[in-house]
A and B are shown apart, each in its own frame.
Chain A
C-alpha cells in the first residue's frame, strides 16, 4: 500500500518570501506520478504541479517548483515570491502508473501574511 505523509499541519510565510512544504511517500512501485494540489477557502482543488518519477529533472510552474528526491522518497514544494492568493491547504498526492487511485497526504495549511 502507498502512504503519503505531510508532517507540517500549518505553516506561514511573509508575502514575497519563499516557503517550502514537505512531503514524503512510501511505495514499492518503480514508476509513479506525484502531484501537489491547492485547496483555497473556495474549496476547489487545483492542480499546482506534477512530477513523473522517471524524470530526474524537477518540475517547475512559474513560482512553484519541486525538489524530487526519488531515493529518499521525498517530494517538497517550493513557493517563491509568495502572494496572498497562495493562502490555502496544500495536498501532496501519489498515483502509481499501474493504479487508478490517488493517495493524498493530510495537507498543510499555508497562510501568507501581508
Chain B
C-alpha cells in the first residue's frame, strides 16, 4: 500500500516567486492536511481539506493557499515568497480522527 507522496522533495526559489507543492494521500484517505515545520516554530497547521473542501485553516497569510482534487490529491501554493517561508512542508492524510495522521516525507523549501 503506497504511503503519502509529496513532490518535489527539495525546492530552491527566489524571493518574490511562487511555488506549488503536491501531495498524494493514501488511497481511501479523504482528509489531507498541510503543516509548516521550522526549528523555531515547530509544526504549524496550514489547512485541512476533505472531499475538495477546506474544512479548517491555520493562522497564515493569504499568500498560502491550497486545494484538493476529486481524487483527493492536494496542492498548496505560496505566492510572493519571503525568506521566512523557508521550511519543511509536511502533508498528512487521515482516514478518521482516531487513526491519526500518516505523513509524507515533506518538501524542503529554501527561499533565497
The answer to whether A binds B is yes
When C-beta atoms are compared, the residue in chain B nearest to A51 turns out to be B98
State the Cβ distance, B106 to closest chain A Cβ, in Å. 6
Cα–Cα distance between A99 and B94 once the two chains are bound (Å): 13
- B residues less than 8 Å from A50 (CB atoms): 98-100
When C-beta atoms are compared, the residue in chain B nearest to A47 turns out to be B100
B88 within 8 A of A: yes
- Range for the number of chain B residues in contact with chain A: 20 to 34
Residue pairs across A and B with CB atoms within 8 Å: the count is 59
On whether the beta carbons of A100 and B55 are closer than 8 Å, the reply is yes
- Tell me the dominant secondary structure on chain B's binding face: strand
Chain A interfacial residues counted at CB < 8 A: 24
- B residues less than 8 Å from A91 (CB atoms): 43
- A residues less than 8 Å from B97 (CB atoms): 33, 95, 97, 99-100
Cα–Cα distance between A67 and B53 once the two chains are bound (Å): 37
Other than the given A35-B101, A100-B55, 7 more pairs (CB < 8 A) read A37-B100, A45-B92, A47-B101, A97-B98, A100-B97, A101-B33, A104-B43
CB within 8 Å of B: which residues of A?
33, 35, 37, 42-47, 50, 52, 91, 93, 95, 97, 99-107
